[in-house]
Chain A
Amino acid sequence: MIKSTLTAAMLAGVILMGGVSSSVRAEEPRPTIESLRLSVEGGYLAADVASSGLFSERITGTVQSGLPAVVDLFYYLATLDGGTAVENVLSFSLRYDVWEDVYTIDSGDTVVSYTSLPQMKQAIQTLHDLRLVSLDSIDPSRSYRVHMSIMINPLRGADRDQIAGWVRENVQASEDDSWHGQVLNLNELISHFFSKEGGVVNQSSWYKSDIVKPDSLRAPEQE
């Protein structure tokens, strides 16, 4: 009886762990922009960005091994007539010094240190006063909507052709002597419309802000 009980217990344990590992596989977090608050700071249109889901097992493992992970924040200012005023990327490199036990976020201009992984995660997922565009390079009396997406990759920044909704063309021009044509890849077309996952796994969907007029965001003393 003990033997059969033990066998059942071992079997249950294996099944349970298999189920847990399966559920772990299925529930890898996906990056998400939770909120985007715009303001005018020091002559710039600035943003406070809150995000979540950046730290999957792969990303956490890479950072904790001592190699970097790179967070790219893509954004563009869309005018109300369908045009694009400004388009840019802000990149942040996340690192851990395994010997000094220090975490850092390097934005290119500044490097900020943290003593623990949760602190660094909190900092990168709640970014403040990001300078998106100088007010001198746009018409601040016009209305805009900011579109933003966040992406995180182990080791390196994103390839431009990885970015969903940014630069993506599925039709190739074909020209050979007297033939002028367009070629459409049916495999890609089918997987685009029938794939359950849709989009790039380590990139958030595009977050759209409310329509804003930079002039109306200025504090009274800034005018």
Chain B
Amino acid sequence: MSNRVIKALVLLSLACSITAVPPRVAGAAQDAGSPAADQVTPAPEEPRGKVLTLERVAISGNAHVSDSAILGTLDLAARDTITAELLEKARLRLLDQQPLLSTVDIASRPGSRRGRIILDIAVTEKKPIVFETGYGHHDTYGWFLTLLGLRVDPAAAYGTEYRLGLRLGFHIAGLDGGFERRAEHGRLGWGGSFHLYTQEQIFYADQELPAAGDSVSGSQDAREYRQKIGRAGAELFLRYRLSDNTRFTFGLQAETVRPDSSYEQSEDGAEFEFSDFPRSLQPDIKHSDIVGLFLRAVRDTRDRADYPRSGSYLALRGQWNSDLLGGDESYAKAEYDVRTHIGFGSWRVLSSRLSGGIVSNGTPYYDRFYLGGAYSIRGFRGLSLSPPSGHDGYVIASSEIRFPLIASSANLPPRLSGLMFVDAGFGWKRGDAFRWTDVQASAGYGVRMRLPWIGTLGIDMGVPFTDGRTDDRFYVHGCVGFSF
């Protein structure tokens, strides 16, 4: 065999051994735009003692996060002593400090000498754009669909998320969006949001209207009326996360509100002018610009939000709108919401809620309180327990026992669960004397079904103990999740 043939065979063998190197290392090295993925630093001396030491690192799967960023976060150098615990901390550090990484898997293989290892780090990156859809229920505007939502986590920004949503419901349609730059615990993050809606304000009044008298006295002949309101606004906020459970939000909000000057009766579509309402019931329907400050505090220690078995939830919200800030209206509003959950067996829970709020004089009707409905006092039609101009304050208390109807896994809520509830509450207008007959109460039962890809849906059937403003012996509510 000639020397040339022998040399060619040797070269061929060499070429084959290079291409047989594990694909992830070859792939990483072929990334033309990035620096060399491997740290190759052969140690001249044998390792001291029986410890494993790092020879080099090979990275694969990264298209947007650079090798140097991953290596910098790993904080490992050649000849470092390696243990499984140290590598797990490095893996969690990567997931925490590189927000574009979705998964990080670390494996190893023997290095060039006994006791030396080569780390193989395989990462997957988050999609920069996430499409969403969904549905839900608003306390005032009822059911809606989120036709399309968009969340963007741009590669250029650290920990900032942008979202945009298109909503359509029976009484609401529009666009909303926002962004938030999250900060670590103990630091301030910031963000903003905007909304552009057309909403239908629902209220109940006596059927003799617009001609006849005061419907606040609680007639049971009330009919449903609706009025279109256009709302467009934005807010900027600072958010301080004290811990995983507690956060404070402080910000500036501005909104323009354009109520229609007419309303229509839901039953027959008849239209009326607001000027036909008795003066005492006329909502304030002028076009207004509202500018103010707000403060929100939330402390949430529930073990899980969808079916809490322990813990509590506390939310405080306050806003102060003033013409001193450039708006047309001056008023203040404060609300609280306290919930507790006590488990007493597998997915059996006693849940309670106390909520309330108060507004100052001059609050326009569309920012006042309207009681009744699935997330308020069940057994009564939504918003039907308040006069057309709303209440100045309210208190609602609810208690509920939840239990599984189908035996389930310890890790997931039951596929089918039941509940029994008691709701009570009252609203008041400033200057009115409290009367026990103003308290509305109901009791009932419901079911919830947890469906894959859809979430938790259910119905509650409430029987009122007191006379509401509509002649319903009972009422069935559709619900998203639990009422509280």
Could you list which residues of chain A lie within 8 angstroms of chain B, going by C-beta atoms? 2, 6, 9-10, 13-14, 16-18, 20-21, 25, 57-59, 61-62, 64-68, 76, 79, 81-84, 87, 98-99, 154-156, 160, 166-167, 169-171, 173-175, 177-187, 189
Contact = CB atoms under 8 A, between A and B. Distances in A.
A21 B84 contact: no
5 contacts: A67-B52, A167-B411, A170-B453, A182-B456, A186-B132
B40 interface: no
Contact of A98 (B23, B52, B118, B406): B52
Contact of A182 (B107, B136, B138, B411): B136
Interface of B: 2, 4-5, 8, 11-12, 15-16, 19-20, 22-23, 50, 52, 82, 84, 87-88, 105-111, 114-115, 117-118, 120, 127, 130-140, 144, 146, 149, 305-306, 317, 375, 406-412, 452-456, 480-481
Given A9-B12, A173-B305, A182 B111 contact: no
B19 to A, nearest CB: 4
Contacts of A81: 407
A213 B442 CA distance: 47
A52 to B, nearest CB: 20
A61 B115 CA distance: 13
Given A25-B23, A65-B52, A66-B52, A174 B134 contact: yes
What are the 6 tightest A-B residue pairs by CB atom distance, in nearest-first order? A181-B136, A83-B407, A61-B109, A182-B455, A178-B139, A154-B107
Given A62-B108, A83-B408, A182-B136, 19 more contacts: A59-B107, A61-B107, A64-B109, A65-B109, A66-B52, A67-B84, A67-B87, A68-B84, A82-B406, A98-B52, A99-B115, A155-B106, A166-B411, A173-B456, A175-B305, A178-B140, A181-B137, A182-B134, A183-B149
A182 B480 contact: yes
Contacts of B106: 154-155
A88 to B, nearest CB: 10
Contacts of B140: 178
A18 B19 CA distance: 6
Contacts of B115: 66, 98-99
Given A173-B455, A184-B453, A2 B108 contact: no
B19 A17 contact: yes
B111 to A, nearest CB: 7
Contacts of A171: 452-455
A58 to B, nearest CB: 4
A87 B411 contact: yes
Contacts of B130: 185-187
Given A154-B106, A156-B88, A174 B407 contact: no
A153 B452 CA distance: 28
B481 A14 contact: no
B299 to A, nearest CB: 14
Contacts of A14: 15-16, 19
A21 B20 contact: yes
B133 A84 contact: no
Contacts of B135: 181-182
Nearest to A67: B108
A186 B408 contact: no
B110 to A, nearest CB: 5
A155 B134 contact: no
Contacts of A59: 107
Nearest to A183: B134
Contact of B111 (A65, A169, A180): A65
B58 to A, nearest CB: 11
Contacts of B108: 61-62, 65, 67, 154-155
A66 B108 CA distance: 9
Nearest to B106: A155
Contact of A65 (B19, B118, B452): B118
B313 to A, nearest CB: 9
A155 B118 contact: no
A170 B12 contact: no
A93 B246 CA distance: 38
Nearest to B115: A98
B278 to A, nearest CB: 29
Contacts of B408: 83-84
Contacts of B19: 14, 17-18, 21
Contacts of B20: 17, 20-21
Contacts of B136: 174, 179-182
A82 B407 contact: yes
Given A61-B110, A67-B117, A173-B455, A186 B407 contact: no
A177 B317 contact: yes
A173 to B, nearest CB: 5
B161 to A, nearest CB: 13
Contacts of B120: 58, 61
B61 to A, nearest CB: 13
Contacts of A9: 8, 12
A203 to B, nearest CB: 13
A20 B50 CA distance: 37
Given A82-B406, A167-B412, A184-B134, A17 B16 contact: yes
Contacts of B456: 173, 182
B89 to A, nearest CB: 11
A155 to B, nearest CB: 5
Contacts of A57: 22
Contacts of A58: 107, 120
B5 A169 contact: no
A173 B84 CA distance: 36
Contacts of A62: 107-109
B4 A2 contact: yes
A187 B131 contact: yes
Contact of B110 (A64, A82, A182): A64
Nearest to B413: A169
Given A10-B12, A155-B84, A155-B87, A183 B132 contact: yes
A215 B116 CA distance: 53
Contacts of A76: 409
B110 A65 contact: yes
A102 B16 CA distance: 33
Nearest to A61: B109
Contacts of A167: 411-412
A146 to B, nearest CB: 14
